[in-house]
Structure 1
């Protein structure tokens, strides 16, 4: 379940000026400041975080490209100065009409560029678009295909061809002749997919494009998903005289998955060879990539329970494969994008948490471990780059704190570890140039908008600040934001939990305040993070949610978030404590958080509420039923209410199958505890949610009716899991604000 695009990031507060207790109202700073409004937060660009759009490293690490005012412009890294305009807006016209570009990519020598327009999102990562090839020498703009919109069009490494998908099939276009060749022809909607991921792989393994060019441009490895036996989910689309049915394959927990195969297509001969992924069709192939050895493809094979990962190397000429590495775990094995095959074809790096924390290991091509490169009670978050000349590997980790992420480097010898990020707290998001000479760094701390800068890869030295969000920071000074502080407390078992608190700007310790807790609480997977307690400002919805929490603080509420067991940043034992028992320990920890807050002299223990989205909605629903005596009010947005309704990959990873672990599914389902509800409860869902189906809320409402419990519901027609678009978010947060102020 990858909910991070909506509610994953920490909703943190700024260290705003606190009022001096005892000042009369006519002299308070608050009267000199503006008041936050929902319109400013959700409908206007008042608090929009500035970024560096369209940034793309070019082959020579001295330059980067960016889309600016409809043109593609090349900049010099060290100064940021414009070097040249690669493609002008005037050149991006077709039949006299401007091309509304929404993306681009270069071929290997950067003389041809693929531009996309009219992109149509399908699910979270999938999309189709119209692709156009621009030749910089001839200044000619040519449609890639006349057969309809394409998916994931990708240049071959030698830049001579483009592969793409359409209607569940794969195609290759020769750019010299613009001749289009079908790689497959058997694709059928809701039956067989070539070159793209099915719904559950896209959502849970994090990719939509399912084909990969070989380094020598001679082969294309691609996925085929036979989803003929996967049950369909029927989702109605409202608006016309008669609702439309939208049916798609969605494997719920314990149901049949797609049978997945991997093949390689030889461009010259047109021959396709199927690779041997083993005799068991009930398994996962979460990653496919090419090694640095000619004709050798890398395949990761995962058993259905996801506690055994095998790394296979396959010969595309024969289709034969061999297992070179096996990684197991009593709970589940992490899947990520950290596997890197090093130049020369003799070694690869691989991450594993076999010592209790996610760390980096160096292996030879036979799979034999050469050495463990990183070690300690902290986690690798991502591998950012490798310099073959120096042997230095760059990565981000939690070594400074579970609340932070910073960039480090270490040599393949296991020596010379050094922090590259500047000293201090906060969180760094790193985009490193291919040659590791420079990196784009997005740095923020709690409540402070991010600063985007270019830095030297080897030292972290500042080259140029590209965006400091000075305008937004100045805007924020016009508002009397509440104080934000991190704190820790111990749960009933003596485990220390991280948390943050936003207090009203005019906080008076002699008063009693109501508290609204914000929760996500679900497990993370791979290099993702589901933490709500992070030392960063967040971006997008995270930052606007932070401002909403500040608005509530203006209204006299304290807002708190507690990081329960099951979340990332603190190692395997902490994250996997919830294995086979989702909801149990998370609910205990949130309840212990409410109990701790109740002991604080400035908290009104009779007025503690909780809200969350997605997994957080599940947690809020459990808190309001299993911990009904602790919470006066709750809001659950797009919640899972019965894990039997959720997808196979995510749910079985953490709970096993319903057949193997029925108690894990039923013992912590809010549906089973509807009769315990006593507080005021608001349930929100989008009817077009392809991820957490509206079915979940229907089941919970039915249980509440049977238990004769009062509740309120708010549904959004045809909105997906993000419940957004137009005035939707403004409307939603107005309803939630009113519900909080009227019931807490």
Structure 2
């Protein structure tokens, strides 16, 4: 067996995520769970599986290699963009949708449309031929055929490339986006007048139906653009008009023969896409949905279940006020169910809003300084919990994910648990310390758990409170073990992880320090789980004391903690890293004469800030894909924290990096930086790093620039991901080599 270095293993396994089961769909009758999982810890190709209950037997429902007959997968530009927004680096069946009974799945592969019979036993045959018409399975019909070599899988011959196909709840129809249109096809592939047709078509090239605009997919957590009515008789469809959005161009300098790619990017202070909604019946009838779009232009979330009308969550552009709306499906008018306001901003949460079976509104909101769960007018949790997501609202109790509240945060550092919340309050579902999430339907709950003392996830299927089965994982075992010490540090009790070289003893003395944060909104790094700390441990094993600190602005602590960065990314984020560093120096072997910092995205921004603004503390920085000129980042993110740059330009200037490069430090010399950026990044454009480098050069400041040809904001390419780690270590050792030891 060929030995792989940790950097190569980490890259080849996509951070040890390949081979782990995910994207669970649970049958409400408790007979099966569908999910995707690659066949090994190094295979990128995701396969659709089914776990049959009560026996707990796993079987393949759709294998991309068989479905495509061994042909390679081809991705459309639209599908590549969807995967970039969701940070999806694997291949094959990366996502699927099901009918209400979870008897049939639908998915896109190479831009083609397929259905898979989830209820069939192995060897039962293809599709749903001979099944009852109302059973929710696609019936065999003219115009559809089994995919070669894939029993139970059927291709529907439709125009492509297909994006985001979704089954109607009754399983009879498939809606999908294609070329700006929303199209509809019978799940059985019936040809003729009842066959594939456009339900909504774009009036001009800048318009698209049934897809999420950039800021919705990148910042709001809304990747969808259409939703089925619970009775399968209509769809709620978003229309996105990008004409107002400014045009930018992304080129590939390594390939001068290729034309630049045009992108519509809504930078802070510039126009957004115009988003509207309409109700379409299956015959093509259209009813516009009405709300005060001038006041609430952001469509943040949509929920439509059998418990009641469609719900909308809409936000003002400054995100300080939002409304929960109910849609009248006959007239398209909306009524206000709840209003929320905040002087800083309002956050969005997965699974919120929703409706209970009795029709009560379920939402996560900030109340009396805590992040709580509300059902109707009742507040069901208090400051003992910090709510993270609504996982399911379909039972007698709401299933949620939550961290410990502020008072107990130090006792459960980095932990996230699953709770059932009813009238009597929360009851914890996950028992062991760690990070947990869940999917539930009927009496089945799929609980996925990670812990500090073991690599990889453990996935259990619970029937009620009892374990009914386990879903296997094929993830590779890492070639090193993360030895993590979790604690809180400094005056602000910052959640922190410290990692020392394997085998270090006190006789080895003090170590050069590497801070390894993300340090900003939506980016928790300090988790009570093993695998998130593997890269930090590898850096530690290269001879560093590695410190990972989740300062103010990061999630999981309290609303006040997250909102402490309002208007002041730069000051708060850097101050908390310095505070943690100095607080640990008395109890850990930290050589404060040799301190470096590394990070990616917000972490890259923070690393550059630290080196430029506190050269008395930080002596080198690895700056990955940083946002340097904050006016070049998108509206929904940047305006939430810093306001409108056309109204508050001074705030943007105070928090941006490009003006810092010319600062003259009277005592400390300029600190060396390695600046890394993917040239194909359409989220944080390479312009950020180029502007920083230009300013550094003009100021005579030492730095290295590592441009990554063909790389986006992710770095899924194996050799690139491996060598990035090796080059960073080489730079850090060179940068700190001349420093006197403390």
Calculate the TM-score normalised by the size of structure 2. 0.83
| Matching residue within 267, 292, 297 for 2:282 | 267
CA change 1:727–1:292 in 2 (3 A) is: same
* Aligned CA distance change for structure 1 residues 693 and 451 (closer, same or farther; 3 Å): closer
Query: 2: distance between equivalents of 1:96 and 1:690?
Result: 29
Aligned to 1:205: 220
Alignment of 1:7-18 (within 5 A): none
Q: Is the aligned partner of 1:557 residue 2:544?
A: yes
Question: Which of 644, 653, 658 is 1:657 aligned to?
Answer: 644
1:468 offset after TM fit, Å?
6.8
State whether structure 2 residue 654 is matched by structure 1 residue 678: no
Tell me, in whole angstroms, the C-alpha distance in 1 between the residues paired with 2:538 and 2:307: 57
Measure the CA separation in 2 of the matches of 1:623 and 1:605: 14
Structure 1 residue 307 displacement after superposition:
0.6
Pick from 485, 502, 510: which aligns with 1:512? 510
Match of 1:456? Answer: 462
User: In 1, are the aligned partners of 2:313 and 2:324 still within 8 Å (CA)?
Assistant: yes
Residue 298 of structure 2 corresponds to which residue in structure 1? 284
* In structure 2, C-alpha distance between the alignment counterparts of 1:325 and 1:133, rounded to whole Å: 39
Decide whether aligned partners of structure 1 residues 88 and 574 sit closer, same or farther in structure 2, where only a CA change above 3 A counts.
Answer: closer
Matched, 1:535 2:522: no
* Aligned with residue 234 of structure 2, among 212, 219, 223: 219
Q: Do 1:440 and 1:452's aligned partners in 2 also have CA atoms closer than 8 Å?
A: no
Whether contact under 8 Å (2:25, 2:98) holds in the other structure is no
What does 1:278-677 correspond to in 2, within 5 Å? 278=292, 280=294, 283-290=297-304, 292=306, 296-336=309-349, 337-344=351-358, 346-363=359-376, 369=377, 371-386=378-393, 388=395, 391-399=396-404, 401-411=412-422, 414-415=423-424, 417-422=426-431, 424-432=432-440, 434-435=441-442, 437-446=443-452, 448-456=454-462, 458-459=464-465, 461-467=466-472, 472=477, 476=479, 481=481, 483-490=483-490, 494-510=491-507, 511-524=509-522, 530-538=523-531, 542=532, 546-600=533-587, 602-676=589-663
1:223 Cα deviation from its structure 2 partner: 0.8
Partner secondary structure for residue 612 of structure 2? helix
Aligned residue runs from structure 1 range 29-68, under 5 A: 37-43=6-12, 50-52=19-21, 55-65=24-34
The whole-number CA distance in structure 1 between the counterparts of 2:356 and 2:14 is 45
> How many Å separate the matches in 1 of 2:630 and 2:26?
42
Comparing both chains, which one has the higher relative contact order based on Cα–Cα distances under 8 Å and sequence gaps of 6 or more? Answer: 1
Q: Do 2:604 and 2:625's aligned partners in 1 also have CA atoms closer than 8 Å? A: yes
Deviations 1:545-571 (A, max 9, x none): x33333332232111111111111111
- Say how many residue pairs are matched: 663
Q: In structure 2, how many angstroms separate the alpha carbons of the residues matched to 1:465 and 1:167? A: 41
Partners of 1:215 and 1:617 in 2: CA distance: 44
8 Å Cα contact 2:568/2:642 also seen in 1: yes
Please list every run of 5 or more consecutive structure 1 residues that lacks an aligned counterpart in the other structure.
1-33, 119-128, 364-368, 525-529
Q: Which runs of 5+ in 2 are unaligned?
A: 40-45, 75-90, 117-126, 131-139, 147-153, 664-668, 737-742
Give the direction of change, closer, same or farther, for the CA distance of 1:282–1:643 in structure 2 (3 Å limit).
Answer: farther
CA distance in 2, matches of 1:87, 1:689: 32
Point out the more displaced range, 633-642 or 63-72: 63-72
Residue 255 (structure 1) shift: 0.3
The alpha-carbon deviation at position 737 of structure 1 amounts to: 1.6
Superposition TM-score, scaled by structure 1 size: 0.83
Say whether residues 1:733 and 2:725 are aligned partners: yes
**Is the Cα–Cα contact under 8 Å of residues 308 and 329 in structure 1 kept in the other structure?**
yes
> Which residue pairs with 2:174 in the alignment?
162
Q: 1:305 to 1:515 in 2, by over 3 A?
A: same
Candidates 36, 40, 56, aligned match of 1:80:
56
1:239–1:507 distance in 2 versus 1, CA, 3 Å: closer
How far apart are the structure 1 equivalents of 2:642 and 2:68?
Answer: 53
Q: CA deviation at 1:37?
A: 4.5
Distance (Å, rounded) in 2 between the aligned partners of 1:341 and 1:548: 41
SS in 2 for 1:237: coil
RMSD (Å), alpha carbons: 3.0
Q: Which residue is 1:28 aligned to?
A: none
Rounded to whole Å, the distance in 2 between the matches of 1:98 and 1:657 is 42
- Give how far 1:582 is off: 1.8
Q: Is the 8 A contact 2:16 2:456 kept in 1?
A: no
Inter-CA distance 519–71: structure 2 relative to 1 (3 Å threshold) = closer
The 3-state SS of whatever aligns with 1:644 is helix
Comparing 170-179 with 609-618, which one deviates more in the overlay?
A: 170-179
Distance 2:720 2:65 in 1: 36
Alpha-carbon distance in structure 2 between the residues aligned to 1:266 and 1:710: 62
Structure 2 vs 1, CA of residues 263 and 387 (structure 1 numbering), >3 Å: closer, same or farther? closer
Counterpart Cα distance in 2 of 1:197 and 1:292: 23
Q: Residues 313 and 554 (structure 1 numbering): CA distance in 2 closer, same or farther, change over 3 Å?
A: closer
Partner of 2:114: 132
Which deviations, in whole Å up to 9, do the C-alpha atoms of 1:54-88 show, x marking residues without a partner? 75423421322356879866433444225x77679
> CA, structure 1 residues 289+91, in 2 after alignment: closer, same or farther (shift >3 Å)?
same
3-state SS, counterpart of residue 114 of structure 2 = strand
CA distance in 2, matches of 1:409, 1:49: 30
C-alpha distance in 1, partners of 2:312/2:52? 38
Can you list the C-alpha shifts for 1:88-118, whole angstroms capped at 9, x where unaligned?
9999578999999625444345554424322
The alpha-carbon deviation at position 534 of structure 1 amounts to 1.3
Deviation at 1:289, TM superposition (A): 2.6
**SS class of match (1:318):** coil
Distance 1:56 1:548, change over 3 A: same
1:184 to 200, 208, 215: 200
Q: 1:175 to 1:81 in 2, by over 3 A?
A: closer
Which residue matches 1:123? none
Q: Contact 1:104 / 1:115 at 8 angstroms: preserved in 2?
A: yes
